[in-house]
């Protein structure tokens, strides 16, 4: 990332194209076979309507990714692999000079590629496993799952291609491929008006950002004459670029990232994306689409870190951090009042992505302001800041993937418990209903108001949801703790030098307390207390396939302490990639190193700040949630030993500190938050007044001007042809007369001209 690139010898590099190509080729195969064998019992039972075709494909992509990662991850050479998979060219003539121009697609590998490649390939594989249990056990999906799996693998191909691409151009191409697939997957239940609306909303909103992204890429091309990473990251070329134009180009590209990662003010599409099946939610919110925007911003580091740009790009860094801070608090506040399980997680996604944007903004400011190229202390500050943001991307992806699949497990079992309770033996009774919607008798399987007491009935799901929530909250030693505290500390570090950063710094600190509350609220309303409905009392965990990814990701989040000991933050944040795991310290020393940054910072201010953040995030927020929503289970119900202390504590806190919050629940602010701060109404107004108005004007122009002109020409030609046909009499005398007249006219014209 420092602007120099070199080719790294690799055994598996030539096979890396199959990471992208295999799922891309699986798309037409699954779609074709689905149309041929739709309804065939062998296809449904044995092939899972394409699910068991997609699974080995995603496993193969993951294995190839791991082989590629294993060759790079331990080198610590600081080099990047740049190689062409496909290239072609054309010749252009400019006077007497003829030059050849090549256009191709290749691979670019550095530490950012490695980290996100693992995230994408690993989670896509696990979500595929989850989907087989989730999608193929709901009769409403019969004869349509082949479409889901085909779109699923194409979506995964887009993300993997974006990560491995060697240029901003191909990043954009795969970026748009994901956008198309997200439209198809969000609108999977297209017969529902809400799903069709959500798909269009997501597509149009993200297209707004993409327009600015295209503008930014054009400006970048104008500055560098190329969009290849090997060219645009060159230190000499960056030094010759105009700082103002470069900042504007990067700013345009950042707006594209805002749309893709659902940040304010282009955030309105993400909650409605829950209309898609839960595997789609997990895919979009954890593994792929929303991380694309963060990846794009992370790719901007070489511009901010270049010595020649010192101090020139700090305004853009502040904007990135400010957008993140505002979104973090806004999304967390809206999550306070959501009762839909998936909607809580949707706003949590927006908030946590905002944390990462804030962390990236702080890291980019530090890289652009400090003399980190020559000062070892400043270098460590930049590395830790950038690494903390990327580590939180990793931790959030793992935790949020697990949380969405856990929510899907709850919704799935609530759905089936309701079905069994009401003896819905006929598939037709489902109508247009499915897991991610409302039943025909208005029972909402996603509402936490219909849950409660599920900890004893769904122990695997409850444990996964507990660990995932703890990671998002930043509870000590679990997942996001190792990265979240770093983001808070480094944002405040920048704020002490640049007062503008007090806004995002205050937002991320406040967001820590808010996260602790709404994530705890979600868990207690779902798994603690007594069942709120008869359906919740009948729920049990029985669907195969679903527990596999939940158990796997639970261990991944808990094992983050191992990654901390391996100094993941330092490895991920090293701008030149010149650091390998364990290259400087062993596991114990690495863990002590991380503890020094998190628990025992030598700076008194950051030492106090760390414990304040832990206190409000791990104690204040969860304590308030316990007081409002905690409670004991039904008599005779037991939970796993590791959950029993939490249930007991919530019961005691609720009994002693419980209070009536009806005044807040009915307040104007609460109602405004339930209405999503009215952003959706403004969006609808904009769509109706601006977009629809522009469409009407365009239609009128097309009808009156374009079509009118064509129709006039058509009418005139018809009249002319009619007159010509009248002259065609078939009489030789008439033809001789017209020939003579023509000759006379030609003679007269020649005389005049001469």
Q: How confident is the model at residue 13 (pLDDT cuts 50, 70, 90)?
A: confident
Q: What is the pLDDT of residue 426?
A: 46
What are the tokens at 428?
A: 């037709």
Measured CA to CA, the distance from residue 284 to residue 554 in angstroms comes to: 20
Helix (H) or strand (E) holding 253: helix 243-260
Angle, alpha carbons 617-555-155 (nearest 5°): 90
Q: What is the pLDDT of residue 564?
A: 80
Coil vs helix vs strand at 136: coil
Measured CA to CA, the distance from residue 351 to residue 427 in angstroms comes to: 39
Quickly tell me which residue has 């809206």 as its tokens: 334
What are the tokens at 168?
A: 């901003």
Q: How confident is the model at residue 361 (pLDDT cuts 50, 70, 90)?
A: very high
What are the tokens at 751?
A: 């005389």
Residue 26 has pLDDT above 90, yes or no: yes
Q: How confident is the model at residue 230 (pLDDT cuts 50, 70, 90)?
A: confident
Measured CA to CA, the distance from residue 455 to residue 648 in angstroms comes to: 12
Q: What is the pLDDT of residue 119?
A: 93
Residue 23 has pLDDT above 60, yes or no: yes
Question: Are 345 and 279 within 8 A, CB to CB?
Answer: no
Cis omega (within 30 of 0) on the bond before 265?
A: yes
Q: What is the pLDDT of residue 109?
A: 85
For the chain, helix (H) and strand (E) counts, in that order, are 34, 2
What are the tokens at 291?
A: 């991380």
137: closest CA among 408, 424, 543?
543
Q: What is the pLDDT of residue 60?
A: 95
Question: Are 511 and 351 within 8 A, CB to CB?
Answer: yes
Q: What is the pLDDT of residue 604?
A: 82
Q: How does pLDDT run across 334-357, given as a tens digit for each residue?
A: 998 888 898 899 999 999 999 999
Q: What is the pLDDT of residue 659?
A: 72
Average pLDDT, stretch 261-267? 88
Measured CA to CA, the distance from residue 243 to residue 230 in angstroms comes to: 19
Cα–Cα separations (whole angstroms), residue 189 to 148, 201, 277, 280, 633: 10, 15, 8, 12, 36
Q: What is the pLDDT of residue 171?
A: 93
Backbone angles phi, psi at 542, to 5 degrees: -140, -10
Instruction: Using a pLDDT cut of 90, give the percent of the chain over it.
Output: 39
Lowest mean pLDDT among 472-486, 493-507, 582-596: 582-596
Coil vs helix vs strand at 256: helix
Q: How confident is the model at residue 586 (pLDDT cuts 50, 70, 90)?
A: low
Q: How confident is the model at residue 65 (pLDDT cuts 50, 70, 90)?
A: very high
**Across 164-270, where does the E strand assignment appear?**
none
Q: How does pLDDT run across 631-666, given as a tens digit for each residue?
A: 888 888 888 899 999 999 989 988 887 777 766 667
Q: What is the pLDDT of residue 654?
A: 86
Measured CA to CA, the distance from residue 447 to residue 468 in angstroms comes to: 19
Task: Give the mean pLDDT of the chain.
Answer: 83
Residue 473 has pLDDT above 80, yes or no: yes
Residue 283, Cβ density class (10 Å: 0-12 exposed, 13-18 middle, ≥19 buried): buried
Residue 692 has pLDDT above 70, yes or no: no
Q: How does pLDDT run across 425-445, given as a tens digit for each residue?
A: 444 444 344 555 444 457 888
Residue 513, Cβ density class (10 Å: 0-12 exposed, 13-18 middle, ≥19 buried): buried
Measured CA to CA, the distance from residue 630 to residue 447 in angstroms comes to: 17
Backbone angles phi, psi at 602, to 5 degrees: -70, -25
Lowest mean pLDDT among 166-175, 308-317, 421-430, 650-659: 421-430
Q: How confident is the model at residue 212 (pLDDT cuts 50, 70, 90)?
A: very high
Q: What is the pLDDT of residue 429?
A: 41
Question: Are 259 and 211 within 8 A, CB to CB?
Answer: no
Q: How does pLDDT run across 518-555, given as a tens digit for each residue?
A: 999 999 999 998 999 999 888 988 888 999 999 999 99
Q: What is the pLDDT of residue 384?
A: 87
Q: How does pLDDT run across 713-744, given as a tens digit for each residue?
A: 777 777 777 766 666 666 666 667 777 777 77
Task: Pick left, alpha or beta for residue 566 (phi over 0 → left; psi -120 to 50 → alpha; otherwise beta).
Answer: alpha
Q: How does pLDDT run across 373-412, given as a tens digit for each residue?
A: 888 888 888 988 998 899 999 999 999 999 999 999 999 8
Distance of alpha carbon 627 from its chain centroid, rounded? 34
Measured CA to CA, the distance from residue 535 to residue 422 in angstroms comes to: 10
Q: What is the pLDDT of residue 439?
A: 43
Q: What is the pLDDT of residue 603?
A: 77
Residue 606 has pLDDT above 60, yes or no: yes
Question: Are 287 and 401 within 8 A, CB to CB?
Answer: yes
Instruction: Using a pLDDT cut of 70, give the percent of the chain over it.
Output: 84
Q: How does pLDDT run across 66-102, given as a tens digit for each residue?
A: 988 887 775 554 455 556 656 555 445 454 444 444 5
Q: What is the pTM of this model?
A: 0.86
How many other C-beta atoms can be found within 10 angstroms of the C-beta atom of residue 150? 24
Query: Which of 279 and 718 is assigned the larger pLDDT?
Result: 279
Question: Are 252 and 219 within 8 A, CB to CB?
Answer: yes
Q: What is the pLDDT of residue 14?
A: 76
Quickly tell me which residue has 């530490």 as its tokens: 111
Packing angle of the helix pair 621-629, 644-657 (nearest 10 deg) = 80
Q: How confident is the model at residue 1 (pLDDT cuts 50, 70, 90)?
A: very low
Average pLDDT, stretch 660-688? 72
Angle, alpha carbons 111-112-114 (nearest 5°): 65
Instruction: Considering only CA atoms, give the Rg of the chain.
Output: 30
Best mean pLDDT range from 156-170, 259-273, 591-605: 156-170
List Cβ neighbours of 451 (8 Å cut-off, separation of 6 or more).
341, 410, 414, 525, 526, 527, 531, 532, 533, 536
Residue 319, Cβ density class (10 Å: 0-12 exposed, 13-18 middle, ≥19 buried): middle
Q: How confident is the model at residue 464 (pLDDT cuts 50, 70, 90)?
A: very high
Task: Pick left, alpha or beta for residue 340 (phi over 0 → left; psi -120 to 50 → alpha; otherwise beta).
Answer: beta
Average pLDDT, stretch 48-57? 92
């Amino acid at each position: 990332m420092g602007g120099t690139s070199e080719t790294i010898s690799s055994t598996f590099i030539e096979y890396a194209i199959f990471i992208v190509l295999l799922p891309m080729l699986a798309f037409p195969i699954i779609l074709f076979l689905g149309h041929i064998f739709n309804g065939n019992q062998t296809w449904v039972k044995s092939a899972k309507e394409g699910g068991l075709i997609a699974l080995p494909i995603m496993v193969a992509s993951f294995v190839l990714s791991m082989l590629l990662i294993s060759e790079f991850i331990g080198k610590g050479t600081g080099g990047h692999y740049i190689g062409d998979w496909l290239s072609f060219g054309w010749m252009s003539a400019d006077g007497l000079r003829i030059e050849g121009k090549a256009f191709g697609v290749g691979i670019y590998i550095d530490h950012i590629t490695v980290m996100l490649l693992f995230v994408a390939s690993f989670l896509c594989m696990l979500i595929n496993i989850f989907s087989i249990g989730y999608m193929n056990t709901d009769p409403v999906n019969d004869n349509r799952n082949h479409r889901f799996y085909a779109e699923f693998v194409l979506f995964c191909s887009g993300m993997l291609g974006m990560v491995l691409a060697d240029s901003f151009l191909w990043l954009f191409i795969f970026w748009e491929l994901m956008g198309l697939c997200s439209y198809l997957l969000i609108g999977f239940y297209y017969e529902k008006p809400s799903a069709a609306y959500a798909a269009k909303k997501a597509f149009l909103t993200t297209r707004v950002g993409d327009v600015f992204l295209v503008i930014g890429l054009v400006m970048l091309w104008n500055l560098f004459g190329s969009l290849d990473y090997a060219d645009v990251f060159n230190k000499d070329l960056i030094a010759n670029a105009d700082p103002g134009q470069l900042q504007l180009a990067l700013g345009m590209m950042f707006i594209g990232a805002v749309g893709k990662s659902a940040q304010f003010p282009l955030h309105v599409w993400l909650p409605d994306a829950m209309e898609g099946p839960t595997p789609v939610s997990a895919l979009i919110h954890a593994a792929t689409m929303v991380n694309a925007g963060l990846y794009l911003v992370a790719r901007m580091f070489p511009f901010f870190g270049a010595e020649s740009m010192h101090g020139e790009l700090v305004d853009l860094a502040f904007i990135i951090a400010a957008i993140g801070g505002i979104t973090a608090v806004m999304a967390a506040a809206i999550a306070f009042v959501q009762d839909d399980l998936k909607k809580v997680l949707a706003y949590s996604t927006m908030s946590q992505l905002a944390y990462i944007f804030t962390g990236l903004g702080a890291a980019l400011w530090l890289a652009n302001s400090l003399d980190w190229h020559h000062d070892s202390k400043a270098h460590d500050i930049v590395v830790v800041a950038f690494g903390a943001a990327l580590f939180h991307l990793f931790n959030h992806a793992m935790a949020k993937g697990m949380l969405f699949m856990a929510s899907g497990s709850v919704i799935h079992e609530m759905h089936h418990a309701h079905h069994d309770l009401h003896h819905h033996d006929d598939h037709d009774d489902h109508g247009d209903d499915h897991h991610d919607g409302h039943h025909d008798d208005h029972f909402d399987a996603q509402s936490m108001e219909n849950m409660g007491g599920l900890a004893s009935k769904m122990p695997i799901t409850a444990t996964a949801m507990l660990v995932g929530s703890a990671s998002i909250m930043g509870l000590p030693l679990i997942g996001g703790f190792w990265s979240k505290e770093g983001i808070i500390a480094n944002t405040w570090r920048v704020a002490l030098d640049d007062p503008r950063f007090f806004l995002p710094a205050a937002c991320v600190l406040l967001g820590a307390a808010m996260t602790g509350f709404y994530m705890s609220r979600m868990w207690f309303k779902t798994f603690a207390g007594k069942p709120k409905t008869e359906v919740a009392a009948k729920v049990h965990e029985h669907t195969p396939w679903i527990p596999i990814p939940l158990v796997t990701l639970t261990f991944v989040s808990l094992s983050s302490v191992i990654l901390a000991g391996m100094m993941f933050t330092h490895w991920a944040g090293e701008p030149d990639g010149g650091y390998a795991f364990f290259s400087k310290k062993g596991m114990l020393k690495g863990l002590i190193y991380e503890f020094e940054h998190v628990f025992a910072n030598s700076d008194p201010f950051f030492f106090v700040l760390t414990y304040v953040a832990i206190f409000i995030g791990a104690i204040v927020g969860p304590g308030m949630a316990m007081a409002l929503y905690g409670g004991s289970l039904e008599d005779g119900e037991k939970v796993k030993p590791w959950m029993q202390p939490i249930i007991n504590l919530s019961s005691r806190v609720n009994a002693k500190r419980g209070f009536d919050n009806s005044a807040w629940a009915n307040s104007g602010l609460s109602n405004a938050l339930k209405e999503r701060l009215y952003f959706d109404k403004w969006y609808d107004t904009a769509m109706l007044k601006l977009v629809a108005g522009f469409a009407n004007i365009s239609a009128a122009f097309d009808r009156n001007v374009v079509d009118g002109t064509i129709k006039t020409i058509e009418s005139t030609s018809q009249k002319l042809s009619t007159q010509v046909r009248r002259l065609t009499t078939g009489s030789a005398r008439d033809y001789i007369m017209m020939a003579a007249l023509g000759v006379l006219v030609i003679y007269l014209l020649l005389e005049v001209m001469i």
